[in-house]
Each structure stands twice: as structure tokens, then as C-alpha cells.
Amino acid sequence: MSVIHFGSFVVTRQVFYRSTHSFALVNVKPLLPGHVLVCPFRIVPRVKDLSTEEIADLFLTVQKVSKVIEDVYKGQSLNIAIQDGPLAGQSVPHVHCHIIPRRLDDLPNVDDVYQLLNSKDADIELSFQQLKSINTVGFSSPDLPDLERNPRTEEEMWAEAEMLQAKMSKSNL
């Protein structure tokens, strides 16, 4: 298995799905349970930097992963978002698409997810740095969001990635 990077971070064991040009990985600091990312293998900062083949593959991967995430996490809808550049809130200069399963009353207001995505607390780069230094705190419940937004442990992410990889394999997508 080759090493997979998300920006400057090695995320190989957090990856649960691979396509020709893209991969899906669990999130170090999910906004809600089941919040995952889909990225192109090639590290580029902006959507405009992707080739036609990479764009097509990225969105087909988003569609495939979305179906499984919605089923596994009992989502009733999904937020699918790309923060394309630092002024749009992108914290890692590597194109990535957020897939966030949503359920009734999962947040006080439906659109709170956008504020959370743009918060300092959602800074993935910082989260990976925190993970390297502390790597001790995770979700208290798989059914509730981590309101403290602590980075999850590597073990928690690996377990989720293995479970999702098995679900993706069984989905025949």
C-alpha cells in the first residue's frame, strides 16, 4: 500500500476508499458523526487546478461515498461542501470535499454547519498538529457531536476507517 498524503499529513490508515484519482478519509475532528473528506490523490490547493479526469473522479467518488455515509450514519440529508482557497475557509491547501450526514435537530439551526466549517475550531491543519502532540481524547458517544471538538485518537480514526472500508466493499458501488 502506497503512502497517502492529505496536504503535508500522512493519512494512509485513515483512508477507507480509493478510486483512480481520489480517496476518502475519516476526519480528525468531525463536525458531526460521519463527517468525512474526499480528496484527489494529487495535492493541489484549488479546484481550478484539477484536470477534467480528476474533477469527474472526485465527484463520482463523492457520490459513492455519500450513499454509504448516509446509510451508515442514518443521515436524512447531507451537506457536501468545498472550501476552495484560504479566504473560503480552507485550512489545508489540498482540495477536499466535506461530506456531512445530517439528521433532524442534530444542530440548533440547520445552517450552523457552515459557521462550524469556517470556525478556527475546524482548522484541520491545527487538528492534525494537536493529534500528534496529545492524541488522547475522542468522542464520548458515536451518536452525539463532540461539542468540545477535540481531535480523535489515531485508533478511533483507524477503527472508523476499517468499518467504512468494509461497508464500501459491500455496497458494490
Binding site: what residues are annotated? 27, 83, 89-92, 98
Annotated binding-site members for substrate: 27, 83, 89-92, 98
Q: Is 105 exposed, middle or buried (0-12, 13-18, 19+ CB in 10 A)?
A: exposed
Cα(122)–Cα(27) distance, rounded to whole angstroms? 10
* Residue 5 annotated in active site: no
CA 115 to chain centre: 17
Cα(156)–Cα(153) distance, rounded to whole angstroms? 5
CA angle 163, 96, 127 (to 5 degrees): 75
CB environment 1-15: b (16+ within 10 A), e (fewer):
eeebebbebebebbb
Q: Is 125 exposed, middle or buried (0-12, 13-18, 19+ CB in 10 A)?
A: middle
- Positions marked active-site: 96
